[in-house]
Structure 1
Amino acid sequence: MTVLILAEHDGKQISPATLHAVGAAQKLGEIHLLVAGSGCLNVAEQASKIQGIAKVLHADAAHFAECLAEEIAPLVVSLAQPYTHIVAAASAFGKNIMPRVAALLDCLQVSDLTEIVDEKTFVRPIYAGNVFTTVQSHESKLVLTIRASAFQAAELGDNTASIQSVTATPAQNISRFVSRELTQSDRPELTQARVIVSGGRALGSAEQFNAVLTPLADALGAAIGASRAAVDADYAPNDSQVGQTGKIVAPELYVAVGISGAIQHIAGMQDSKTIVAINKDPDAPIFNVADLGMVGDLFEIVPELTKALNAR
């Protein structure tokens, strides 16, 4: 069996999510990685060094520059014939493109995998992560998306996979790129951070959200996340939302401050290695998944915790 993985990149670097997808797919067979873009040979060269990659397919064309789903999906389909599995990370990139690929190929897609049992059997969450279901298919070709946080990332090393140029499919011209607005931050990217400090509606305002959480995040070298309630209340930007309708994270340490623990939030962070919850309500659902819990006033506990960390 041979697997084709669609690489996510920004034109300069391979996305860490793709490294996790490679790590997951090693159980499925020989791996080929598709790098599509414009002027991105450097990315293909970087991809060739990923441990576990047998071959890199490089497609270069001006209409691939922004990786629009309408342009990339036909390319993937044109290359799909020899592959038993076509894979991408379950990021916004993968979720946008892979359903189109599955539809064009008229084959089954299994989404958001958290475990690969064998080449035909997979585990994925349902009901906001409260239940994990085992899915089995005997179709000859499968489209898969991988939950990056559930798998170990493949390493970039001294691997020397061959790079093969492939023919670009014609431009579809049914969509166009207008603009992109990216949040710039000195903090780690939320889905890749080792430590995350998240705040909820209990912080009361955007000012208090920043005043309480920023010093703690600085002390821990952490990224800052937020519950959906905090985002809806404009305490934090949309791209900081953790949860089923936000970002799925699995850091080594997750600190939940003033977050009650709604199902959709827990679905996005329950795979964290260590969860610390701070809440004044001893019956808050967040304590059901927390490894360590502190019941009390967050406006007293968090400053004291920050002070202790800075005094180390």
Structure 2
Amino acid sequence: MTDVLVLVEHGEGELKNTTLELLTAARVFGTVGAVVVGAPGTAEKLQSKLAEAGAETIYAAESDEAESLLITPSVDAVSGLAAHLQVPVMISSTATGNEIAGRVSARVASGAIYGVREVEADRSAKVSIFGGAFTVTSSAAGASPVYTLYPGSVDPEPQAASGTLQEVELPGAGPTAVKITSFAPAEKADRPELAEAKIVVSGGRGVGSAEGFGDVVEPLADALGAAVGASRAAVDAEYYPGKFQVGQTGVTVSPNLYIALGISGAIQHKAGMQTSKTIVAVNKDEEAPLFEITDFGIVGDLFEVAPQATEEINSRK
């Protein structure tokens, strides 16, 4: 029996960390079913890892064209299963995940709650609103409410399950299906992926230039094995690429350690990182709003503080 469905995120034969988070959070509803959409054989490759993570049943929604169609196969698979099983659905809160969630909720005539931080057994969910200023409890109507979970909201906890494979037939591409004609994978970097990193070092307007990121922010991140982030102000000033923007209009992160260098702490930035386990900020302005939520605040020149920290960390390796 399946009590909740989780849409699996995967790539190059590996599970995304967001999937492990979803499988952990979904257990509050009961027995978890994992939906794998991809080319034939994809689910079998992921079977053992999904079983270790807590998937009791693995629904293999596979076809030769599944990876060449945009979103549609995932919507078809999840909505079909949800309508049949009448159970909640959990999807990662990404641009693609939110798009899938909206379409699934429309098909199964149930509500959708986006950007969830936590779900409860009574099907309610905790959501941050107004840029993270408030946390509210929300509920969605219908037999199969859909939730999108913010990456980093849950610490993955393995729980062995049977991981039984069950095939799911996907319908063919309809007249409105969008086909992917070419695909270029993102270049792999030496640093962790921002959304899934356990440590993030971010720079803001106070870094002053693109060179400042290369001289101060990146060395500290590399010393810690961290991902690099940037505030919207830094991105707008073209100090760092937009794909590394942390905030309400960028990437939401929730690492074990978040270090902010020269970031004042606008509400949209705080909304994207305030659930970090430990927050450290370095800023010349002792009135910087970010200090309101930091665990450790340093009032000082980041060009003096950060290099000293980098040197000390490297000396202890």
TM-score range, shorter chain: over 0.9
> Is structure 2 residue 135 aligned with structure 1 residue 135?
no
Matches within 5 A, 1:179-258: 179-258=183-262
**1:284 Cα deviation after fit:** 0.5
1:116 aligns with 2:119: yes
Is the counterpart of residue 280 in structure 1 residue 281 in structure 2?
no
Which residue in the other structure is 1:264 paired with? 268
What is the alpha-carbon distance in structure 2 between the residues aligned to residue 257 and residue 21 of structure 1? 31
Q: What residue identity is the alignment partner of 1:7?
A: V
1: CA distance, partners of 2:151 / 2:32: 17
Contact 1:14 1:46 in 2 (8 A): no
What is the one-letter code of the residue matched to 2:151?
Answer: A
2:307 aligned residue (262, 280, 303)? 303
Instruction: After superposing the two structures, state which structure 1 stretch, 49-58 or 19-28, moved more.
Output: 49-58
Residue type of the alignment partner of 2:243? D
TM-score, length-normalised on structure 2? 0.92
CA distance in structure 2 between the aligned counterparts of 1:56 and 1:209, rounded to whole angstroms:
44
**Which of residues 99, 105, 109 in structure 1 aligns to 2:108?**
105
Amino acid of the residue matched to residue 309 of structure 1? Answer: I
Tell me the equivalent position of 2:21. Answer: 20
| Contact 2:257 2:276 (8 Å CA) reproduced | yes
Partner of 2:168: 166
What residue is the counterpart of 1:61 in the other structure? 63
Q: Supply the AA of the counterpart residue of 1:277.
A: A
Tell me the secondary structure at the aligned position of residue 49 of structure 1.
helix
Local SS of the residue matching 2:127: strand
Would you say how many aligned residue pairs link Structure 1 and Structure 2? 311
Q: 1:49 to 1:222 in 2, by over 3 A?
A: same
Instruction: Provide the C-alpha distance between the structure 1 equivalents of 2:187 and 2:111, rounded to a whole number of angstroms.
Output: 35
Match of 2:98 in 1: 95
Say if 1:36 and 1:67, in contact at 8 Å, map to a contact too.
no
For residue 33 of structure 2, what is the amino acid of its counterpart? Answer: H
Structure 1 stretches (4+) deviating beyond 6 angstroms? none
Aligned-partner residue type, residue 194 of structure 1: K
Kept in 2, the 8 Å contact 1:12–1:42? The answer is: no
Moved more, 65-74 or 124-133: 65-74
Deviations 1:149-190 (A, max 9, x none): 2212142x7643210111112112521214335132011111
Percent identical pairs in the alignment equals: 38
Q: Structure 2: give runs of 5+ residues left out of the alignment.
A: none
1:122 and 1:189 map into 2 onto residues whose CA distance is 27
Distance, in Å, in 2 between the alignment partners of 1:7 and 1:93 is: 12
CA distance in 2, matches of 1:181, 1:166: 27
**In the alignment, structure 1 residue 149 sits paired with structure 2 residue 152:** yes
Counterpart position of 1:37: 38
**Separation of aligned partners in 2, 1:67 and 1:288:** 46
- CA offset digits 1:221-250 (Å, max 9, x no partner): 111111111112221112211111111111
Structure 1 unaligned blocks of 5 or more = none
**1:138 Cα deviation (Å)?**
5.0
Q: How does 1:77-96 map to 2 (within 5 A)?
A: 77-80=79-82, 81-96=84-99
Task: Give yes or no for contact 1:3–1:29 (8 Å, CA) kept in 2.
Answer: yes
